[in-house]
């Protein structure tokens, strides 16, 4: 394969991967929040991007067909994810309602690295859309490239890492906005809406 053709496959993988990852979701709003807090950002980015790497590789390797044949696995992820997202959404709604210290550096007590990592992992692996979209859909598109499917996977993985690094470490550019009174309450209200909306969607499609 010529260099230009190989690069086009890599770019196709990156664009396809980003189209699935960039949409506002539970995982992204959590990364954004941690980036604004400057709290364990590297750990959060690593968990999210590394998880995507594993899932993309699994999809391109053909694991997507196993997901289709294991509805029980998807059901467990669906109900577990709905419960987790509901709890997280309620907590975010409470933060938005109660308010509190609004300075960017002081927004609530700092969470432990373990708690942050566990939350990032739960938001990733308890989301059934991860298995249906990233593994099944991305895997299906990748398989259409035949022997070049791993170039497609490389592009998708590169897009994932670029997105989470940019979101996590780029969030600091919004810090002046979140120094204003009420800004954190608006963010937490938005987080609550996203989390609860996704939870409802999961239950409705159960």
> pLDDT at position 62, please?
79
Of 108-112, 158-162, 172-176, 183-187, give the lowest mean pLDDT range.
108-112
Whether the pTM exceeds 0.75: the reply is no
Taking 70 as the threshold, does the pLDDT of residue 67 lie above it?
no
Confidence of residue 103 (pLDDT cuts 50, 70, 90): very low
Alpha helices in 61-148 (DSSP H): 64-68, 71-98, 113-125, 128-129, 138-143
Structural domain count, the chain: 1
What lies within 8 Å, CB to CB, of 31 at 6+ separation is 44, 45, 48, 120, 164, 167, 168, 171
What lies within 8 Å, CB to CB, of 101 at 6+ separation is 107, 108
What lies within 8 Å, CB to CB, of 45 at 6+ separation is 31, 164, 165, 168, 169
Q: Which residue, chain included where needed, has tokens 């609004």?
A: 102
Bigger pLDDT: 136 or 15? 15
Mean pLDDT (whole number) for 186-191: 79
Smallest Cα–Cα separation from 60: which of 145, 127, 169, 175? 145
> pLDDT at position 15, please?
85
Mean pLDDT (whole number) for 172-198: 78
User: What is the distance between the terminal CA atoms of the chain, rounded to a whole angstrom?
Assistant: 44
In whole angstroms, what is the distance from residue 95 CA to residue 99 CA? 6
> pLDDT at position 3, please?
57
Taking 80 as the threshold, does the pLDDT of residue 154 lie above it?
yes
In whole angstroms, what is the distance from residue 77 CA to residue 205 CA? 12
Residues of the domain holding 106: 3-204
The three-state secondary structure class of 144 is coil
């Amino acid at each position: 394969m010529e260099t230009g053709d190989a690069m086009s496959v890599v770019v196709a993988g990156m664009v396809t991967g980003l189209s699935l990852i960039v949409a506002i979701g539970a995982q992204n709003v959590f990364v954004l929040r941690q980036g604004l807090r400057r709290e364990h950002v590297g750990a959060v980015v690593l968990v999210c991007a590394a998880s995507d790497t594993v899932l993309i590789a699994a999809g391109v390797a053909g694991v997507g067909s196993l997901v289709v044949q294991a509805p029980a696995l998807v059901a467990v992820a669906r109900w577990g994810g709905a419960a987790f997202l509901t709890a997280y959404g309620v907590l975010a709604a409470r933060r938005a309602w109660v308010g509190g210290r609004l300075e960017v550096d002081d927004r609530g007590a700092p969470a432990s690295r373990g708690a942050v990592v566990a939350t990032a992992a739960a938001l990733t692996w308890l989301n059934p859309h991860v298995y249906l979209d990233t593994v099944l859909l991305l895997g299906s598109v990748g398989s259409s490239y035949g022997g070049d499917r791993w170039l497609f996977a490389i592009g998708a993985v590169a897009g994932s890492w670029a997105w989470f690094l940019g979101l996590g470490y780029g969030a600091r550019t919004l810090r002046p906005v979140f120094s204003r009174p009420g800004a954190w309450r608006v963010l937490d209200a938005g987080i609550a809406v996203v989390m609860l909306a996704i939870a409802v969607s999961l239950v409705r499609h159960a």
